[in-house]
Amino acid sequence: MSGDNITSGESRTSASRRRSRLALGFLALAVVTLSGCTREEWMRGAMPKPITKDGARTLHLWQASWIAALAVGIIVWGLIFWCVVAYRRKKGDPLPKQTRYNIPIEIFYTAAPAIMIGVLFAFTLRDQTILTKDTGTATNHVTVVGYQWQWSFQYDDDKAYDVGTVAAPPTLWLPVNKRVQFTLLSPDVIHSFWVPDFLFHMDVVPGRVNKFELTPDTIGTFKGRCAELCGAQHARMIFNVKVVSQADYDAHIAQLRAVGQSGTVTTDRYHLSGTTLEEVTK
């Protein structure tokens, strides 16, 4: 065997070892990363546990999407390894015939992804339509105004409001098991109203009124934030959500009225456009 052949063989062996080590490294990283997840978190696909009756629909769509993706991955990986084993070149074998194209296979790998995307789109559209539907059954109505750089929450049925500042983020209070409709407004730039535990968020767009409904069914305190990069102080646009009993909710509304936060919140005192919420919606 010539020196060139020996060098070539050693290079291939070295490259194979490097690929093996890299693959093992990625596998080890994946194991370490995912080992911190509980069984319940694995089952949810690392999504938060929904705190609304509506969140289960989003979670099921997410889980089904992962199951479909894993099924496709297993099939593809299986075919790859099968081809590697079944069609590997043995020592002394001639170079196999090189096929430039195969019409049936090309049609298949063009049609199959299109079908998968179409099915995923159909289920997504179905769930989105249900989640954004105005059911007319909401017993609690909240107007949310996102502005640079905080949030205000007006409890329309109770004529009271919570409002935040950069130094003191607000808390949105919601009674448990009561259907609530959110009306989203912005007087300046696009924001996005997001409570991760809702498993839902919606953009807050100037000049446009967006609405959605949900029913919180878990008592507790949860984090909220702006999911749209809205400017220099975007990271400060945080808030809390407290889901409480009806009695605690009523007590909070009474407290707001006692400190003068009753009626309609005016945006001028919070460095907005100097309009009232009614004028913002026009």
Domain boundaries, the chain: 1-36, 48-131, 140-280
CB atoms within 10 A of CB 67: 11
Element (H, E) at 211: strand 210-214
Cα angle 146, 151, 156 (rounded to 5 degrees) comes to: 90
CA distance 222 to 236: 16
Peptide bond into 82 cis (omega under 30): no
Task: For the chain of 282 residues, list the mean pLDDT of each consecutive stretch of 10.
Answer: 50 60 63 62 81 94 92 91 84 77 86 93 95 94 93 94 89 97 94 96 94 96 95 93 97 94 65 46 45
Residue 243 phi, psi (nearest 5): -95, 120
Quick check: pTM over 0.95? no
Query: Any idea which residue has 């999407």 for tokens?
Result: 65
Candidates 222, 202, 204; CA nearest to 212 is 202
CATH of domain 48-131: 1.10.287
DSSP state of 229: -
Query: Any idea which residue has 């890299």 for tokens?
Result: 22
Is 48 within 8 Å of 196 (Cβ atoms)? yes
DSSP state of 176: T
Domain 140-280's class? mainly beta
Max CA separation in the chain (angstroms) = 95
DSSP state of 52: B
